[in-house]
Structure formats: C-alpha cells, structure tokens
Amino acid sequence: MGGLEVSGKTVEEAIESALSELGLSRAEVDVEVLQEGRRGLLGFGGKEARVRLTPLSNSPPDDHDDNDSAEGSVDLTARAKEVVEKLLSLMEIEATVQATEPDDNPAINIDISNGDLGILIGRRGQSISALQHIMNSILSRELASKVRVSIDVAGYKKRRSEELKNLASNAAELVKSSGRSTTLEPMPAVERRVVHLALADDPEVATKSMGFGDRRKLVIHPQK
C-alpha cells in the first residue's frame, strides 16, 4: 500500500509533520516507521527518522449521541454561514452563500457563488485558504473547540481537485513505466494533500514532500 513518507529529527516530529501535511489526526492513519532517527557525533553520522503514513479507509467512530451531534451541527452550520456573509459584507462583495451540514465529512461545507469572485480565489486558491483559516479560527474561538470549515468559491476547489487527481494519476503511470521518481511543480499544502490522498492506496508508488515554504514540492517514487 502507498502512503506519504516524511523525514524528521525524531519519529514523532516526522509523524506530526505528515499529519499536518495530510490534514488528518493520528487515529485516521496507519503509521509505519521506516527508519529510527539517530544523533551523530559532532554533527557527523546522524540519520533522520523516516515514517510512512497511510490514510485509513474509515474514520474512527463518533462517541457523541447522534441527536446531540446533529443539533449542534445545524446551529454551527447556520453560524458559519452568518460569519461568511458578514465577512463578505465588510469586503463589499456581493455573493450567494450556501452552507451544507456535515454528513460523513466532519467539515462544514461553505459554497460562495454568483458574483465577481476572482479576488476571493487568488493565485492558486491562496485567498480561499486564507478565508478558510479565518473562519476556522473565528468559530473555534467562539466554541472553545476545534471547528473545521471547508470553503469553495465558484467551484474552484472542485475543479482544481479533479485537475490534481488527473495529474497524480498520469505522474504515477509515468513512474511505474519508467521505474524512476518524478517531481511535481511546487504547490501549497492543500494541493499536495490532494495528490497524497489520490495515490495513498496505490501499491506501486509512494509520495513524499521536499523543500521549504513556497518551493515545497511533491515527489512520486516507486514503492520499495
């Protein structure tokens, strides 16, 4: 089975880095330690820890009562819609906001449409990510607990997700036929996550990230 390979000074640091990259919790992945970290002597001979994380097919069961959870979701969804509409009003942007209650997906889905929305998308969807981060921060602070909100603008994320899945599939086929690794162009973490998850169940290839900041890239390589 494939997965995301990440290195770090320690096993725990590598695991935390991979979880952040995938946007998943420890309970939602299978962790395989490929190499234990080792400190060198005077800066020489050390080895980084290396792990592979594979997303599990099913999320862990919810321990809360179904009725209480549903009621909370309805209130939270309405509040999320209200906050987005307020933010758009302050930005003097007219648009239609639709909020979808969580089902199997734990995130509240917000769709913004019907307007001149280019400014909300930004380069490579960076403005969407910023707005989503603001929303998560506002609601999490209000409720004193972590809240996940997923925002899409004019269907951009859905279209981009399909493009990235096709890119991942084509790159994986190239790796399989050539037996050599291929490196994709630099992309933000949210887009790398789409590629990671698209190839997570492919038994012939694995993915890993390399580089820093805006130049961080994703590498697809043959599974050992």
35: domain CATH number?
3.30.1370.50
**Same domain, residue pair 172 and 205:** yes
Q: Say what the alpha-carbon torsion angle 125, 101, 162, 140 is, to the nearest 10 degrees.
A: 40
User: Which among 154, 185, 200 is the end of a domain?
Assistant: 154
- Distance between CA 45 and CA 48 in Å, rounded? 10
Interval 86-138: pLDDT, tens: 999 988 888 999 988 766 566 788 999 987 788 888 887 888 888 888 888 88
The stretch 201-213 carries a mean pLDDT of 86
**Same domain, residue pair 73 and 139:** yes
Burial class (CB in 10 A: 0-12, 13-18, 19+), 5: buried
User: Which among 107, 131, 154 is the end of a domain?
Assistant: 154
Interval 21-64: pLDDT, tens: 777 777 777 888 888 876 655 455 567 888 888 877 544 444 44
| Residue 179 covered by a domain | yes
**Same domain, residue pair 136 and 93:** yes
User: Which among 126, 154, 182 is the end of a domain?
Assistant: 154
Domains contained in the chain, number: 2
| Residue 162 covered by a domain | no
Range of the domain at 77: 66-154
